Amino acid sequence: MAASEEMRKGPWTEQEDMQLVCYVHLFGERRWDFIAKVTGLNRTGKSCRLRWLNYLHPGLKHGRMTPQEEQLVVELHSRWGNRWSRIARRLPGRTDNEIKNYWRTHMRKKAQERQKSSQLSPSSSSSSSSSLNSIAVAEAENKWFEQINHGSSISTSGFEAEVELNGYSMDQIWNELAISENPWLNFEARKEKFNELEITEMASPLWDYSESQMWKVDDENLKLFSPMAGLVIPNYQYGTGI
DNA sequence: AAGGATTACAACCGCAGAGGA
DNA sequence: TTCCTCTGCGGTTGTAATCCT
């Protein structure tokens, strides 16, 4: 379609944010193509949805994760793998994107540290509390980062499914990595945490919008609405994300 | 103080599934 | 049944902010 050529990309401006917030309050968090159209922003519906979910939603927490959140992410990832949206539902106010970013940064850093230390002292693994063969971990990490660095077309899941080193799956390897970074998470503690989680599991209230939203209004009637009605701008400093 | 390296975050892309026409 | 649109997800990339030398 020709319109796609004119679509705006890149960072959102404050003006765009205000417009989007305004129209989402009017029409609800559905029909993003429609919202994109009526806002007059040269953005795709997809882009609007992402901006709203990851940044503008009033229930979002901004800023760095707390140690508790970090531990929870590690735990849940060890349990579910890269199911970011699922993990995010257990952390109210955090988005899948945020958790994904955190995990990548965190794990890349840790893997690099480990790689370094294994190069410096290959026998040091004997002092580790990890039950996993450290060579297997290092090999897996190396393969993983090779893949990243060389832009291999093998998908992550494909890789994880494929790689089994010394009887360990990629998931197990990630788990070991994660747990080794959180020594307090011994078996008993983990069991206890999981029990708590089972009890407290809930649908995130953040996303729980009712069906009574007004987005059924047709295009012709749009101009009847005041764009500024019910406008609430999330509490953050523009540009810093905090 | 400058500039390169690293980290954190925002945004885009492609794909798949659901649901309606 | 098939096609189309919308939505959601996970992977990836780009860039601003911060750190380090």
Would you state the pLDDT for residue A201?
Answer: 39
In whole angstroms, B4 C1' to A166 CA is 40
Nearest nt (C1') to A105 (CA)? B7
Q: How confident is the model at residue A210 (pLDDT cuts 50, 70, 90)?
A: very low
Contact between A43 and A8 under an 8 Å Cβ cutoff? The reply is yes
* Res. A140: pLDDT tops 70: no
Nearest nt (C1') to A10 (CA)? B11
Conformational region of residue A126, where left means phi above 0, alpha means psi within -120 to 50, and beta covers everything else: alpha
Nearest-5° Cα angle at A241, A71 to A14: 155
Would you state the pLDDT for residue A239?
Answer: 39
* Res. A162: pLDDT tops 60: no
Distance CA A30, CA A21 (A): 13
A101 touches strand B (CB under 7 A): yes
In whole angstroms, B10 C1' to A207 CA is 20
Would you state the pLDDT for residue A120?
Answer: 54
What are the two backbone dihedrals, phi and then psi, of residue A165, each rounded to the nearest 5 degrees?
-115, 125
Give Rg (Cα) of chain A: 22
Residues with CB under 7 A from strand C: A 10-11, 29-34, 45-46, 49, 82-86, 96-97, 100-101, 104, 148, 151, 155-157, 239-240
- Among A27-36, A120-129, A134-143, the range with the most confident prediction by mean pLDDT is A27-36
Average pLDDT over residues A177-194: 43
Nearest-5° Cα angle at A32, A18 to A65: 65
Nearest-5° Cα angle at A113, A112 to A118: 100
* Res. A4: pLDDT tops 50: no
In this structure, is the dihedral angle defined by the CA atoms of residues A113, A165, A174 and A156, taken in order, positive or negative? positive
Nearest nt (C1') to A112 (CA)? B6
Q: Write out pLDDT tens, residues A58-86.
A: 888 887 788 888 888 888 888 888 888 88
Which nucleotides of strand B lie within 7 A of protein CB? 6-14
In whole angstroms, B16 C1' to A152 CA is 22
Conformational region of residue A218, where left means phi above 0, alpha means psi within -120 to 50, and beta covers everything else: beta
Tell me which of A187 and A175 has the higher pLDDT: A175
Q: How confident is the model at residue A41 (pLDDT cuts 50, 70, 90)?
A: confident
- Among A6-10, A113-117, A128-132, A226-230, the range with the most confident prediction by mean pLDDT is A6-10
* All structural domains of chain A: 3-61+207-224 (1.10.10.60), 67-205 (no CATH)
What are the two backbone dihedrals, phi and then psi, of residue A197, each rounded to the nearest 5 degrees?
-60, -40
Which nucleotides of strand C lie within 7 A of protein CB? 5-13, 15-17
% residues pLDDT > 70 (chain A): 42
Determine which of A63-72, A122-131, A176-185 has the lowest per-residue pLDDT on average: A122-131
A226 touches strand B (CB under 7 A): no
Average pLDDT over residues A42-52: 90
* Res. A158: pLDDT tops 50: no
Average pLDDT over residues A135-164: 39
Average pLDDT over residues A109-118: 64
Average pLDDT over residues A43-71: 86
